[in-house]
Amino acid sequence: MNHHPLRILIVEDEILIALELESLLQDAGHEVVGIAASFEDAIALSQFRRPDLAFVDIHLTDGPTGIDVARSLSGDGVAVLFMTANTKRIPEDRAGAKGVIAKPYTERGVRQALAYVTASDEDVTKEGRGMTFVPFDGCRSETSARGV
């Protein structure tokens, strides 16, 4: 991968999903700075570890607080990607996030998201139709086939 490693925060309440994602991201050459399961943990970890990017599930241990996490983190300059089975919950203003990965996602979906965020075009493969990862601005990646 021709990019510098990102410091990534995982905000997910299902520990197994979080751990596998951590491995996946590490395989892709990035560093996972923490796993948070609730709003408070997410904010605390973010302030303590200063990640570049956060994968944020909407449903956490303290309810659908992922939206608030996204708002807070993106306000602090962290690139936020939603990771959720429930894309309908995402508010109109997207809470500052850059895209959403629909669950259950595949490794390809995560890699697409990473490619988008690191904006290295050689990683972006030409797609057919439909995909796991949907960027929110629609025009940067040629893989954006379906709006949220």
Partner 1 sequence: MSADVRRLDTDPGRDVGSDVGDPFARAFLSTRMPMLLTDPHQPDNPILFVNEAFLNLTGYSRAEVMGRNCRFLQGPDTDRSAVQRIREAVAAGEGIETEILNYKKDGTRFWNALVVSPVRNEANELLYFFACQFDVSGQKNAESELVRTKASLEELVSRRTQDLQSALDQKTALLHELDHRVKNNLQVISSLVLLKARRLKDPRAQGALHNVAERISALSTVHRLLYSVGDVSRFDLAEFLGDLTGDLATLLPPGQVAVQLNLQPVAVSAAKAAPLALLVNELVSNAFKHAYPDRRRGRLLVELTKPDGELSIVVEDDGIGMDAVAPSGDGFGRTLIDMLARQLKARIDWSDAQPGTRAVVTMPIDAEEAQF
Which residues sit at the interface with partner 1, rule CB under 8 A?
14, 16-17, 19-21, 23-24, 59, 85-86, 88, 102-108, 111, 125, 127-132
DSSP state of 34: E
Q: Report the C-alpha gap between 60 and 37 in whole angstroms.
A: 6
Which 3 state secondary structure label does DSSP give 1?
coil
How many contiguous H segments (helices) and E segments (strands) does the chain have?
Answer: 4, 6
Nearer CB in complex with partner 1: 7/24: 24
Nearer CB in complex with partner 1: 52/136: 136
- From 68, 44, 62, 57, select the one nearest 18 (Cα to Cα): 57
Nearer CB in complex with partner 1: 50/146: 146
Minimum Å distance from CB 146 to partner 1? 9
Nearer CB in complex with partner 1: 47/106: 106
Nearer CB in complex with partner 1: 4/88: 88
What are the structure tokens assigned to 49, written together? 């570890």
**106-124 in b/e burial notation, b at 16+ Cβ within 10 A?**
eeebbbbbbbbbbeeeebb
Burial of 59 (0-12, 13-18, 19+ CB in 10 A): middle
